[in-house]
Amino acid sequence: MGRITVRRPVRRIGPNGETTRPDTLAAEEPLEIRLDGKPLTVTMRTPGHDVELTHGFLLTESVITARQDVAAARYCDSPGPDGRNTYNVLDVQLAPHVPRPDNSVERNFYTTSSCGVCGKAALDAVRLRSAHPPESDDSRVSTETLVELPEKLRAAQRVFDTTGGLHGSGLFDTAGELLAAREDVGRHNAVDKVLGWALLDGRTPLRGHVLMLSGRASFELVQKAAMAGIPTIAAVSAPSSLAAELAEEQGITLIGFLRGSSMNVYTRPDRLSGTGSPEE
């Protein structure tokens, strides 16, 4: 398994002069995902939880809908300059009943750590139809519970404490219990890892759950939540306009600027309860 962090010398310049000291950086390496031996995509990620990441990616790309759809997932031999396996190639064998994805939904063979939809073969393929539509989910969550989630997620971001350079994603129930938290240099990878964990644990569709994001809520993250059936998304920062449009279209409660005791509710406020409900 690749390193999660990397130590490098850094020259620090401050009011008292310059010093050279080691610094810890978040690792970023490519992961090539193959289906039945055929390359599907490459994503830049922080090594770790690669099987979860791959399952979450395939779920949110509508390739699979359940853990039974994957027969096996194995690292391929991908030697680095020193001859050792880099663990940067993962081959997934689909179950016999699962068709290969249509070429129109496949990504071009590269995805950056900052963008989960860069390289889509067709723009129309960006909006995928969920097998678990969240619109009819009647679960409710209190505002008192929501305001506690950012700190709970932050406490689970252990690598962020060391590097300051990772996005975090947390899956909570409506009582505010943290079920899983993952970190990655790519915000979409952090979400895929959490969703992959849920799929492998037999928890999908994720009705009655809250997805907590450490940064902004972008279009692709709302799409991923919709594909997993998540009814509520909360983010520390702002959503994009397209994220809000998609959340409204999918019937997802979208919350942004969740900081301290305040928040902005962009869609489906009917799922919120409690004396601390946001002002209209």
Confidence of residue 279 (pLDDT cuts 50, 70, 90): very low
Which tokens belong to 48?
Answer: 């770790």
Rounded average pLDDT over 33-53: 94
pLDDT at 50 over 70: yes
| Residue pLDDT, tens place only, 103-152 | 654 554 455 555 666 655 444 545 667 888 999 999 999 999 999 999 99
State the Cα–Cα distance between residues 86 and 93, nearest whole angstrom: 20
Cis geometry, peptide bond prior to residue 205 (ω within 30 degrees of 0): yes
- How many CB atoms within 10 Å of residue 201? 12
118 is known as an active-site residue = no
Lowest mean pLDDT segment, chosen from 2-11, 98-107, 197-206: 98-107
pLDDT for residue 248: 95
State the Cα–Cα distance between residues 137 and 146, nearest whole angstrom: 18
Tell me the average pLDDT of the chain.
88
Distance of CA 274 to the CA centre of its chain: 28
More reliable by pLDDT, 26 or 195? 195
3-state class (DSSP) for residue 38: strand
Dihedral, CA of residue 142, residue 182, residue 226 and residue 73, to nearest 10: -150
Q: What are the start-end ranges of the E strands in the chain?
A: 5-14, 17-26, 29-35, 38-45, 70-75, 89-94, 141-142, 167-173, 178-184, 209-213, 232-235, 253-259, 262-267, 272-273
| Residue pLDDT, tens place only, 177-202 | 999 999 999 999 999 999 999 999 99
State the Cα–Cα distance between residues 66 and 203, nearest whole angstrom: 9
| Residue pLDDT, tens place only, 55-91 | 999 999 889 999 999 999 999 988 878 878 889 999 9
State the Cα–Cα distance between residues 184 and 160, nearest whole angstrom: 9
| Residue closest to 41 by CA, chosen among 9, 96, 88 | 88
pLDDT for residue 103: 64
pLDDT for residue 116: 67
Q: Which of 51, 66, 115, 178 is catalytic?
A: 115
| Residue pLDDT, tens place only, 219-269 | 999 999 999 999 999 999 999 999 999 999 999 999 999 999 999 999 999
State the Cα–Cα distance between residues 79 and 62, nearest whole angstrom: 31
% of the chain at pLDDT higher than 70: 86
Give this prediction's pTM. 0.88
pLDDT for residue 280: 43
